[in-house]
Structure 1
Amino acid sequence: MSRAGAPPGLDPERLRAYLDRERPGLVAGPLRAELIEGGRSNLTYRIADDAGGCWVVRRPPLGHVLATAHDMRREHRVIGALRGTNVPVPAPLLLCEDEDVLGAPFYVMEFVPGTPYRSARQLAAIGPERTRAVVLHLTDTLVALHAVDPAAVGLADFGRPEGFLERQLRRWGAQLEASRSRELAGIDELHTALATALPASGAPAVVHGDYRLDNVLVGDDDTVRAVLDWEMSTLGDPLTDLGLLMMYSSLTAVPGSPVSTTRDAPGHPSPTEIARRYADRSGRDVSALPWYTAFAYFKLAVILEGIHYRYTLGQTVGTGFDRIGELVPQFVEGGLTTLRTG
């Protein structure tokens, strides 16, 4: 139970006592905590002390069940491994697997100042030239991530690249079956088409799993200062990251939608330019990119259908969830169109 004035899931006094034991001198005076909005799954908090110190805490959602889906050790490990590479990540400070402290495992990392651009409106405020620079640097940062040698940074056993795409397609197909509550035109057709046209993967890499503009912090110089939210990271086919970025760069904003999109901002590079830049700078073959983009549409359709299903059962509360179901067919059609025209 959180103390009065504290955000759910984080007790500042218990955290302060733990940090004083494990990292004496790190914090000065009482801790203040606030929940950082925007995360889809794991909870993120900003904590600060009386001396101006500031850090970030990550923990699983309240009432989580599947530990593997919210693995704090895994997130802590990957950002620690990427420190010192060309991939900007916050410095991990401490991992706590003792659930008695906050009720779940958590880790503490440095606070990195920056802006998570979530909408075209936010980007429009900085103008077309800066918007272009931000998105191109986002692309370059993905190239840097996929250039990391997993073995060289201690991540050789971080995943199983062999059969990665088959397992991914099977996993999301199973997720779809678990969320079926209505007829959804085209989604089985899309799943079958993806399975029929499965591409051969190139050299494996560290895959972020949810790479998009609002999962990074951008500095005042319009460069990516930190890549965040590594909960879906693994070793696998790097074009799954690029396909997801292509999908998000193709979406037109839907009023009231919880899905972030920035494509409509003046100056935003086109998906074609993003793909060309990635290919030129990474040296990877992107000829099968339409499949990966269509797969991204399928994944998001399944995720949104799952949210819709939980909403119909009364298990999801908040604004905007009543419209999620209306969005799913648009993502199904986006995937089918991408495969047909790609």
Structure 2
Amino acid sequence: MPIRHRLLAGLVAVLWGLNFLAIHASLEQFPPYFLVALRWTLIAVPTVLLVPRPQVPLRWLLGYGLGFGVLQFAFLYSAMDAGMPTGLASLVLQSSAPFTVLLGVLVGERLTPTRALGVVVAVTGLVIVGSQRVGGAAWWPFVLTLCGGLGWAVGNLSSKLARPPKPLHLTLWMTVVPPVPMLGLSLLVEGPRQIVDSVATSGSAWAAWTGLLYTCVLGSVAGSGIWTWLIARHPASTVAPYSMLVPVVGLSAAWIALGERPGNIELLGCAVVVSGVLLTSRTPGRPVKSASAVGPGEETAHRKHTTASAVLHR
């Protein structure tokens, strides 16, 4: 890739890495399930009005929205609200990569030796990180974040099976699915009183609203737009590794802004996870152009796009 395109890929990693700080700021004001509903609603409304519906089977659009938009963020936001450190959340969520590989096997994808090794390495890293969360209340947010990674993987699989001719349109229309179920879940679990109070007292909560706007505009629309633009012009194997900068940015930003300093063993686990995810992200062989006129490498690349974030991310 030209230097300018590499800088753009690095910029996306920074945008997605800082997404976790933005989520942390918003959770200081809004309850997690309501915040997820609010986040997707702010993107879904202009999407329905301005973006054509993607030409994909409805079941895969719903699967993408429920996996990526509902399960991933319901678990992630509740984990962070329950005390999952912001920086570690950006790292543990990368569990979506080995989960995606394993789910892919269920629909007939070939598990290459390199990807199998990547799954083992990534899981080993997660076990190392998780070993430092055992005991007290720290283990539950870690488990919730892992569940968020599994939800992301379900979304990845649905987006792959959808084979969208325009991946960005599918990404945007995915946001139409989560608002109603997340609002219903919020009303059921958090209750109308907590929702109303969070909105009524948010007038001076500029950090929470700034964080929410960041996740919508910069994290989701700008980050995903640039990433999809790069994916359409370069092989997935060239662009995808830049997504591994996301947890690096997330951990560093949380360290600087929030004073979160992972222990030495956790840092070792982080390095192992990143190595494993890089292995699982390798694209074997030459990409094949599908009958749906997806450009070379674009289908695989879209899967890398969804495993990169926070994204929307985030």
Instruction: Please report the TM-score for the alignment, with normalisation by the length of structure 2.
Output: 0.33
TM-score, normalization by structure 1: 0.31
Q: Which has the higher strand share?
A: 1
Structure showing greater radius of gyration is: 1
Larger RCO, structure (CA 8 Å, separation 6 or more): 2
Report the structure, 1 or 2, having the larger helix content: 2
